[in-house]
């Protein structure tokens, strides 16, 4: 199969769909790989490294989409990329369609198969291709929060861990899945006072055991959250309802009750955000302030640590990418129900029910 790897074009996005080592794996299985020139430059993967791995370097995205059948990316296609997708293409990337009606319409019109990393499942019912980025975003959310707490950033001027004789900051994490757990790990490491909310009692029990009581766990009800948010210095939103838009758990009204200079980090912004006042920001201009509460809502957080993220993502996407290429997309989707869960659009239709429901489109 012919694999195309375009350069990512979202603001400050330096990740790339395939590393040179992953290219070697595709080539070893008899596939041809076409990489856009300078696609990996930002994270130290030069055109020469891709060529040495067996790829052909092409000058622009148009050439990559022209040659490639399986297009491997990181972020959702931007309008100029969607315009180049044709029915014979299979797109393998993050899509987050539930919060993006324009893109869903573009992919329907393109008629391609699109497989969204974030809805592929595994035998444990987890989302293995979302996991690595959630790990990065979760860990990063705490360093971002620590930065936003500085006075110069509009924060309370409070250190996460305090110092001897001074109480630590109260960090509330909503959603104790992959991102939330990694956030908790870092927040405990920084010696903050950490509470994790979740709706899964099993998850809360696992967290209690994993952290030997070092995090407080609480069942997520509207009333319990409201009280915790009022007392928090930092709130990290890390909820997920797979494939669906995130529920708005912190309302505009709750913001007025929060401490001046408190910090909200909305990791779930790529699913529309779990705070009513969240709107997606970029690494160039990551924060804004409403009611004296600092909001950090960067939709592609792992892009900041693009090299770590690309390597972690490739570890997760490579086996299924090879399966798609080796069997052919349709056969691979028929043979593997977990991969089939990733199929979000095909032949002009939305084929993932939560996306269709959220966008009010036929399924
Ligand atoms: P996950 O499925 O591992 O965890 C989500 C958790 O949220 C689950 O434990 C679930 O029980 C819990 N939850 C659901 N509804 C809840 C509620 N009302 N109250 C409290 N908890 C609730 O998901 P994840 O992999 O940790 O991803 C979390 C979010 O982070 C997703 O929206 C994902 O798209 C996003 N994400 C964003 C970035 C970014 O750059 N902004 C990067 C990676 C992941």
Residue-wise pLDDT tens digits, 245-298: 889 999 999 999 999 999 999 999 988 899 999 999 999 999 999 999 999 999
Q: Residue 258 is part of a domain; what is its CATH number?
A: 3.40.50.720
Shared domain check, 325 and 236? no
155 and 136 inside one domain: yes
Q: Report yes or no on 234 lying in a domain.
A: yes
Q: How far is the CA of 65 from the centre of ligand 1 (A)?
A: 32
Boundary of a domain, candidates 299, 327, 347:
299
* Probe residue for ligand 1, chosen from 201, 238, 309 as the CB with the greatest number of ligand atoms within 8 Å: 238
Beta strand extents in the chain (DSSP E only): 2-5, 32-36, 56-58, 70-72, 90-93, 113-116, 170-174, 193-198, 216-219, 234-237, 263-266, 287-290, 293-296, 343-346, 349-350
Tell me the CA–centroid distance for residue 106 and ligand 1, in Å.
26
Count of domains for the chain: 2
Q: Which residues contact 16 (CB under 8 A, 6 or more apart)?
A: 5, 7, 8, 39, 40, 43, 45, 74, 310
- Please give the residue range of the domain that contains residue 284: 131-299
Kindly give the distance from the C-alpha atom of residue 115 to the centroid of ligand 1, in angstroms, as a whole number.
20
Q: What is the percent of the chain with per-residue pLDDT over 70, rounded to a whole number?
A: 100
Residue 126 lies in a domain: no
Q: Which atom of ligand 1 is nearest to the CA of 274?
A: 32
Quote the longest CA-to-CA distance of the chain: 64
Indicate which atom in ligand 1 lies nearest the CA of residue 181: 26
pLDDT of 132-183, one tens digit each? Answer: 999 999 999 999 999 999 999 999 999 999 999 999 999 999 999 999 999 9
Residue 284 annotated among the catalytic residues of the structure: no
What does the pLDDT average to over 97-106?
Answer: 90
Domain's final residue, options 299, 317, 341? 299
- Residue 100 pLDDT exceeds 70: yes
CA 228 to chain centre: 26
Residues 272 and 135 in one domain: yes
Q: Residues of 254-290 as b/e, b for ≥16 C-beta within 10 angstroms?
A: bbeebbebbbbbbbbbbbbbbbebbeebebeebbeeb
44 and 157 belong to one structural domain: no
CA distance 305 to 4: 23
Percent residues over pLDDT 90 in the chain:
90
Q: Is 338 a catalytic residue?
A: no
Cα separation of 12 and 170, whole Å?
31
Q: Both 141 and 74 in a single domain?
A: no
Residues facing 237 on adjacent strands: 174, 266
Decide if 293 is inside a domain: yes
Domain-terminating residue out of 276, 299, 322: 299
Assembly ipTM: 0.98
Distance of CA 163 to the CA centre of its chain: 33
Euclidean distance between CA atoms 140 and 109, whole angstroms? 36
| pLDDT at residue 271, as a whole number | 84
Same structural domain, 242 and 194: yes
Q: Are residues 175 and 48 in the same domain?
A: no
167 plus 226 within the same structural domain: yes
CA distance 194 to 341: 34
């Amino acid at each position: 199969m012919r694999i195309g790897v375009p350069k990512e074009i979202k603001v400050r996005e330096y990740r790339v769909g395939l590393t040179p080592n992953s290219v070697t794996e595709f080539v070893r299985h008899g596939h041809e790989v076409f990489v856009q020139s300078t696609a990996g430059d930002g994270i130290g993967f030069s055109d020469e490294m891709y060529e040495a791995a067996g790829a052909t370097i092409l000058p622009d995205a148009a050439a990559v989409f022209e040659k490639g059948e399986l297009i491997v990316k990181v972020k959702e296609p931007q309008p100029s990329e969607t315009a180049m997708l044709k029915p014979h293409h299979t797109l393998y990337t993050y899509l987050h369609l539930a919060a993006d009606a324009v893109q869903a319409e573009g992919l329907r019109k393109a008629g391609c198969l699109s497989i969204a990393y974030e809805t592929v499942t595994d035998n444990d019912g987890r989302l293995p291709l979302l996991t690595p980025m959630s790990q990065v975003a979760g860990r990063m959310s705490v360093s971002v929060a620590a930065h936003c707490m500085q006075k110069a950033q509009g924060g309370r001027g409070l250190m996460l861990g305090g110092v001897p004789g001074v109480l630590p900051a109260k960090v509330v994490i909503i959603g104790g899945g992959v991102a939330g757990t990694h956030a908790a790990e870092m927040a405990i490491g920084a010696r903050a006072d950490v509470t994790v909310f979740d709706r899964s009692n099993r998850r809360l029990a696992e967290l209690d055991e994993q952290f030997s009581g070092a995090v407080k766990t609480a069942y997520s009800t509207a009333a319990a959250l409201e009280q915790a948010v009022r007392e928090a210095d930092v709130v990290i939103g890390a909820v997920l309802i797979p494939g669906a838009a995130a529920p708005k758990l912190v309302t505009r009204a709750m913001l007025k009750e929060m401490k001046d200079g408190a910090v909200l980090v909305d990791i779930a912004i790529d699913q529309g955000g779990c705070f009513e006042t969240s709107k997606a920001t970029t690494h160039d201009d990551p924060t804004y302030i409403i009611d004296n509460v600092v909001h950090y809502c960067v939709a592609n957080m792992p892009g900041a640590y693009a090299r770590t993220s690309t390597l972690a993502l490739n570890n997760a996407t490579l086996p299924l990418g090879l399966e798609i290429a080796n069997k052919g997309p349709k056969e691979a989707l028929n043979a593997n129900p977990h991969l089939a869960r990733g199929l979000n659009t095909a032949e002009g239709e939305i084929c993932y029910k939560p996306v269709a429901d959220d966008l009010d489109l036929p399924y």
